[in-house]
A and B are shown apart, each in its own frame.
Chain A
Amino acid sequence: MDNKKIIIKMKPEVREKVIEICDSFGNNPGELINVLHQTQDFLGYLPAEVQELIAERLHMPTAKVYGVVSFYAFFTMTPKGKYPVSVCLGTACYVRGAEKILESFEKELGIKPGETDENGVFSLASLRCVGACGLAPVALVDGKVFGRLAPAMVKDIVKEYREME
């Protein structure tokens, strides 16, 4: 693995921070998931070069790190938008019409689940159960829960955030 290339691609402060996180867990391979959690908290996502750096620090193959990143739904390799939108597709929301809510967001934002729009403002995802089933169907926009949604409400929600830009 050509580590020099990585150094060039990654901002020095990012590199420093990732090394700091790895050190704080004693560079212990058993702490990989905790390292990934903290790195994603800091960076928002886990790009390939960051995974390579973590592998190097934790003395493990990059493939193993990638294997863990790709296994868990919580970890992402694409940067999220400024306002991440997550539509709950848990069973309670599903039986109260969550699919139509997701469709409305797709239409309104012009992106599919898993994508981020061109300007990096919105990203769209589905998730399994926020735990606010009493408010089904629900969606999260930038961490805020919107409950008892109807497809017609989606337009206004998106507009509200667009106007903040």
Chain B
Amino acid sequence: MANYKYHILLCGGTGCTASESPKIKENFIQLLAEKNLTDDVQVVATGCFGFCEKGPIVKILPDNTFYTQVKPEDCREIIDEHIIKGRKVQRLLYENPEDQKHISDSKHMGFYKKQMRIALRNCGFIDPENIDEYIARDGYKALATVLEQNDPKATIDIIKKSGLRGRGGAGFPTGLKWELCAKNAADQKYIICNADEGDPGAFMDRSILEGDPHSIIEAMAIGGFCIGATIGLVYIRAEYPLAIHRLQVAINQAREYGLLGKNIFGTDFDFDIILRYGAGAFVCGEETALIHSMEGLRGEPTFKPPFPAVEGYLKKPSNVNNVETYANIPVIINKGWEWFSSIGTEKSKGTKVFALAGQINNVGLIEVPMGITLREVIYEIGGGIKGGKKFKAVQTGGPSGGCLTEKFLDTPIDYDNLVAAGSMMGSGGMIVMDETSCMVSVAKFYLDFTVEESCGKCSPCRIGNKRLCEILDKITKGQGTMEDLDRLRNLAHVIKDTALCGLGQTSPNPVLSTIDNFWDEYVAHVVDKKCPAGQCKALKQYIIDPEKCKGCTACARNCPVGAIKGTVKMPHEINQELCIKCGTCMEKCKFNAISIK
């Protein structure tokens, strides 16, 4: 890499690819050829930089200039000004929302200042389709160390001491999981990577696979060596074509380099990786369901025990970890467990990747040390609520998690604190909501999801969640009663206690946490028949302000049910009994005279 004067890194993640980053790359390459600069400047499509809100991102090294929202037609200016004349293109730099000054180095941007990248260390730095770039950043060094030491027990011990816990949801200690599987003797064992990221609004695993696939291959080989498995399986969503492609490329390269296959690093350790495709079932994130799906069956969970460590894939001992968990492994080996366990809180070590989304200024992928507060995440990294609106809640843990309110803003984020607050870490979705979000509707949104995704095997989940959803639907339509609220709570607890698998046991969490934290809002729907956020269609009232109405008749002419009456040039009025709340009148009014109450 040393021969190049400049490196142009551009984001090749799914988000930026959707905003024409491949065209940008093409333009850069063409322009560099035109100017005979191909030998001086390298163009690299990297993994996700994380700052998806401002994508597509282009970063220039060595000066670390960070250009945002670059368009294909901006390439010429970047080459002419920055590369040839050494002048930064001011208009493409990130503008600090506080003082409107341009910031060119990403290190000084609020979005990156508090982040700490371990799992995402290579995302946005290397070309994920080039194994040499991974190797140049200490890639496969950890595997070499582990194989050289040839002491699986000692390696498991390092992982145990590091305090690493599963990043897929429940937070089971990874080292312990490996130890349990290693203890069970068998002629064949399997190490499995769960890349079936089904949580809507979460995309961290995909970004790691797209941006740094070799780290997963290396970690799985290390894990395989520790537990005594010679075959690794990656269960990946078929909906992630780019991640599948990058992983397949990486596997082929690793085979070519002898890092997968027979006698790795000249030892007698053999290891290879096979891909298995998911087909869109959320429940397959549960490890027993995932294993059944890999066997070609319906992805239905089975009762544990037996745990996969005893009886897993094809009835052989298997170990399942999630993508982000694996991404941490090589770094722990390279830098030592002492370093890793110095980060985070007492019981949650290291960092966590979150997909920050919703009504927030800086949507993107972030990695923060455990113990950071929600306030720091939302206001410093996330840049606050979109449109200067008021913060209402943040949802963590996806359909298994809950909504946290303002009172939890200063709670340090770790596994145990989130559970104590009525939510959970989950895989790392973090959806921020402002005052326009109706919490009853949000609970219903998640329940709709669970009802659709329930595998139907056990009745608490199949029937119970359906009933929860029906009660919520009744409430959002203004037909709920106070008894319904009791029923919701009771039923939710019954489902939690009796469902078969993790999906069912956590599915009522969105209902319980919204009832606990937003009781008044439920009561408003039930007693006052009002939706304070103005979201529930059936409870909305469109009102014409007689002061503002000029009597232009636009609303009355466009109303599909003839609910608006009035004389020309006189204020009009909406008949609430006829109104179907379609909102057409509000769209057509040129004088902003119609509002929702």
Choose among B18, B198, B358, B359 the residue that contacts A145 (Cβ–Cβ < 8 A).
Answer: B18
Closest to B363 in A: A134
A67-B298, A92-B201, A95-B358 are known contacts. Are A132 and B277 too (CB-CB below 8 A)?
no
Distance of A29 Cα from B297 Cα, bound (Å) = 9
Contact (Cβ within 8 A) B238 A135: no
Minimum CB–CB distance from B282 to chain A (whole Å) comes to 8
Contact (Cβ within 8 A) B296 A72: no
Choose among A34, A92, A132 the residue that contacts B431 (Cβ–Cβ < 8 A).
Answer: A92
Closest to B452 in A: A73
Q: Chain A residues near B358 (CB, 8 Å)?
A: 91-92, 95-96
Q: Which of A20-38 contact B (CB under 8 A)?
A: 29-34, 36-37
Asked if B240 lies at the interface with its beta carbon under 8 angstroms from chain A, I say yes
Q: Write out, one digit per residue, whether chain B residues 422-455 have a CB within 8 A of any chain A CB (1) or not (0).
A: 0000000101010001000010010001000001
Contact (Cβ within 8 A) A129 B201: yes
A89-B200, A129-B200 are known contacts. Are A96 and B359 too (CB-CB below 8 A)?
yes
Contact (Cβ within 8 A) B445 A135: no
Q: Chain A residues near B14 (CB, 8 Å)?
A: 130-132, 145
Q: Which of A134-148 contact B (CB under 8 A)?
A: 134-136, 138, 144-145, 147
Choose among A31, A32, A74 the residue that contacts B238 (Cβ–Cβ < 8 A).
Answer: A74
Q: Which of B199-227 contact A (CB under 8 A)?
A: 199-203, 206-207
Distance of A134 Cα from B360 Cα, bound (Å) = 10
Asked if B15 lies at the interface with its beta carbon under 8 angstroms from chain A, I say yes
Task: For the complex of A and B, list the 8 residue pairs with the smallest distance between their C-beta atoms, beginning with the closest.
Answer: A134-B52, A145-B18, A72-B279, A92-B357, A91-B201, A90-B200, A73-B280, A131-B203
Minimum CB–CB distance from A73 to chain B (whole Å) comes to 4
Asked if A45 lies at the interface with its beta carbon under 8 angstroms from chain B, I say no
Contact (Cβ within 8 A) A71 B433: no
Distance of A36 Cα from B55 Cα, bound (Å) = 36
Q: Chain B residues near A33 (CB, 8 Å)?
A: 276-277, 279, 293, 296
Contact (Cβ within 8 A) A73 B279: yes
The count of A-to-B residue pairs whose CB atoms sit within 8 angstroms is 121
Instruction: Name A's B-contacting residues (CB within 8 A).
Output: 29-34, 36-37, 67-68, 71-75, 89-96, 127-136, 138, 144-145, 147
Contact (Cβ within 8 A) A91 B18: no
Q: Chain B residues near A95 (CB, 8 Å)?
A: 357-359, 431, 433, 437, 442
Choose among A29, A90, A127, A131 the residue that contacts B296 (Cβ–Cβ < 8 A).
Answer: A29
Q: Chain B residues near A91 (CB, 8 Å)?
A: 200-201, 357-358, 395, 398, 429, 431, 445
Contact (Cβ within 8 A) B18 A135: yes
A36-B279, A75-B279, A134-B363 are known contacts. Are A128 and B449 too (CB-CB below 8 A)?
yes
Q: Chain B residues near A131 (CB, 8 Å)?
A: 14-15, 203, 206-207, 240
Asked if B405 lies at the interface with its beta carbon under 8 angstroms from chain A, I say no
Minimum CB–CB distance from A43 to chain B (whole Å) comes to 15
Asked if B355 lies at the interface with its beta carbon under 8 angstroms from chain A, I say yes
Closest to B15 in A: A132
Contact (Cβ within 8 A) B455 A71: yes
Q: Which of B373-398 contact A (CB under 8 A)?
A: 395, 398
Q: Chain B residues near A144 (CB, 8 Å)?
A: 18
Contact (Cβ within 8 A) A135 B200: no
7 contacts between A and B (CB under 8 A): A91-B201, A92-B431, A128-B198, A130-B18, A131-B206, A133-B355, A135-B15
| A128-B282, A132-B14, A133-B201 given; 19 more Cβ-contact pairs under 8 Å | A34-B276, A34-B296, A37-B238, A68-B298, A72-B299, A91-B358, A91-B395, A92-B358, A94-B445, A95-B431, A128-B200, A130-B14, A131-B14, A134-B55, A134-B363, A134-B364, A135-B15, A135-B52, A136-B357
Q: Write out, one digit per residue, whether chain B residues 277-316 have a CB within 8 A of any chain A CB (1) or not (0).
A: 1111110000000000101111100000000000000000
Contact (Cβ within 8 A) B281 A132: no
Asked if B239 lies at the interface with its beta carbon under 8 angstroms from chain A, I say yes
Distance of A11 Cα from B277 Cα, bound (Å) = 28
Q: Chain B residues near A29 (CB, 8 Å)?
A: 296
Contact (Cβ within 8 A) B359 A132: no
Contact (Cβ within 8 A) A68 B296: yes
Distance of A138 Cα from B203 Cα, bound (Å) = 15
Closest to A134 in B: B52
Q: Chain B residues near A74 (CB, 8 Å)?
A: 238-239, 278-280
Q: Chain B residues near A73 (CB, 8 Å)?
A: 279-281
Distance of A72 Cα from B237 Cα, bound (Å) = 11
Q: Write out, one digit per residue, whether chain B residues 227-263 have a CB within 8 A of any chain A CB (1) or not (0).
A: 0000000000011100000000000000000000000
Q: Write out, one digit per residue, whether chain B residues 551-578 have a CB within 8 A of any chain A CB (1) or not (0).
A: 0000000000000000000000000000
Distance of A89 Cα from B431 Cα, bound (Å) = 13
Asked if B53 lies at the interface with its beta carbon under 8 angstroms from chain A, I say yes
Asked if B19 lies at the interface with its beta carbon under 8 angstroms from chain A, I say yes
Q: Chain A residues near B238 (CB, 8 Å)?
A: 37, 74
Contact (Cβ within 8 A) B398 A133: no
Minimum CB–CB distance from B294 to chain A (whole Å) comes to 8
A32-B296, A129-B202, A133-B357 are known contacts. Are A138 and B445 too (CB-CB below 8 A)?
no
Minimum CB–CB distance from B238 to chain A (whole Å) comes to 6
Q: Chain A residues near B19 (CB, 8 Å)?
A: 135, 147
Q: Chain A residues near B53 (CB, 8 Å)?
A: 134
Distance of A101 Cα from B280 Cα, bound (Å) = 22
Contact (Cβ within 8 A) A30 B18: no
Closest to B449 in A: A128
Minimum CB–CB distance from B510 to chain A (whole Å) comes to 10
Q: Chain B residues near A68 (CB, 8 Å)?
A: 296-298
Q: Write out, one digit per residue, whether chain B residues 34-55 have a CB within 8 A of any chain A CB (1) or not (0).
A: 0000000000000000001101
Q: Write out, one digit per residue, whether chain B residues 408-431 have a CB within 8 A of any chain A CB (1) or not (0).
A: 000000000000000000000101
Q: Chain A residues near B55 (CB, 8 Å)?
A: 134-135
Closest to A91 in B: B201
Choose among B277, B278, B296 the residue that contacts A30 (Cβ–Cβ < 8 A).
Answer: B296
Q: Chain B residues near A36 (CB, 8 Å)?
A: 279
Distance of A72 Cα from B296 Cα, bound (Å) = 11
Distance of A36 Cα from B279 Cα, bound (Å) = 10
Contact (Cβ within 8 A) A72 B200: no
Minimum CB–CB distance from A113 to chain B (whole Å) comes to 12
Q: Chain B residues near A96 (CB, 8 Å)?
A: 358-359
A90-B201, A92-B201 are known contacts. Are A71 and B52 too (CB-CB below 8 A)?
no
Q: Chain A residues near B203 (CB, 8 Å)?
A: 129, 131, 133
Q: Chain A residues near B280 (CB, 8 Å)?
A: 72-74
Q: Chain A residues near B398 (CB, 8 Å)?
A: 91
Minimum CB–CB distance from B581 to chain A (whole Å) comes to 13
Distance of A130 Cα from B199 Cα, bound (Å) = 11
Distance of A29 Cα from B437 Cα, bound (Å) = 47
Distance of A115 Cα from B261 Cα, bound (Å) = 46
